[in-house]
Amino acid sequence: MYVQPADAPQRKPVTVPGLRAMKARGEKIAVLTCYDASFAAQMESVGMDVALVGDSLGMVVQGQSSTLPVTLDDMVYHTRLAARGLAATLLIADLPFMQYRDPATALSASTRLMAEGGAAMVKLEGGAPWVCEVIAALVEREVPVCAHLGLTPQSVHKLGGYRMQGKTEEAAARLRGHAHAVTEAGAELLVLESMPAALAGEITRDLPIPTIGIGAGADCDGQVLVCYDMLGITPGHRPKFSKDFLAGRGSVREAFAAYVEDVRAGRFPGPEQIAR
Ligand code: KIV
């Protein structure tokens, strides 16, 4: 069970409707991925708004070459661990590959992530009509949904690699259409990954729901990074849009605190992290 450090800020829990209120007030939303109770407790203690148990854990925790082998059991396990470190930070968990292929599968997987894992919201990738049908079915049954567009890692084989999306006018138009479609289906939050900053900014201004960018410029309503990337401990190459927040600082907690401050002040991402 999480015990707040004596110097931890007392704050109200971050809620799903509260995210939309943050957008309305122009407050940036700070999000990091999180896979266990110790990291979760550090995030909680610096006032992180959202912790995301991403299926990126397949790559950064399990050492696999993609997110595809991550199972629902893996996700439930790590979500439960992260939940034990949190109090006011909102917890979101990814639905893994093929666990939302139809509404019934998505409902039973979401039940596990929320009831066993303690997630307050589930995330799924894509904006095609069948995904919107799944989103609508979840939302109708009181499961809050975060959508994810742009570079959707579960589609890595179809996309041909981890590449920026939405670079042609046709691809950008498709992403704009998907952003509106997931919103109309009932998504309450939208991750925009690896797309031109101007496109992400335009989608952010057009939608009533908050957008959370990763490699999508500075104009999203919030930012997310893979926590191991922003601590500089991901083996191999760190994405250009990420930043090592541990460099020059004495602890993981200080790195998380600096990230929250920089996101809230609009200092992250800076010009060095934004692809042109
Ligand atoms: O799986 C994950 O960590 C994610 C974030 C990078 C957005 O989906």
pLDDT digits (tens, 9 = 90+) for 192-202: 999 999 999 99
Percentage of residues of the chain with pLDDT beyond 90: 92
| Beta carbons of 50 and 90 less than 8 angstroms apart | yes
Burial class (CB in 10 A: 0-12, 13-18, 19+), 236: exposed
Residue 193 among the catalytic residues: yes
How confident is the model at residue 238, as a pLDDT? 80
Domain spanning 16-273, CATH class? alpha beta
- How far, in Å, from the CA of 226 to the mean position of ligand 1? 7
Residue of minimum CA distance from atom 4 in ligand 1: 54
- How far, in Å, from the CA of 106 to the mean position of ligand 1? 18
How confident is the model at residue 9, as a pLDDT? 60
- Please report, for the chain, the start and end positions of each structural domain, with discontinuous segments joined by +: 16-273
How confident is the model at residue 42, as a pLDDT? 98
- How far, in Å, from the CA of 156 to the mean position of ligand 1? 13
How confident is the model at residue 236, as a pLDDT? 77
Alpha helices in 61-128 (DSSP H): 72-84, 103-111
Q: Which residues line ligand 1 (CB under 6 A)?
A: 33, 54-56, 94, 148, 191, 193, 214, 224, 226
Cross-strand pairs, 178 = none
How confident is the model at residue 112, as a pLDDT? 98
- Could you tell me if residue 3 is left (phi over 0), alpha (psi between -120 and 50 degrees) or otherwise beta? beta
Q: Residue 27 — pLDDT band, cuts 50, 70, 90?
A: very high
How confident is the model at residue 235, as a pLDDT? 77
The pTM score is 0.96
| Beta carbons of 134 and 100 less than 8 angstroms apart | yes
C-alpha torsion sign, points 221, 226, 231, 234: negative
Among 193, 254, 261, 272, the one annotated catalytic = 193
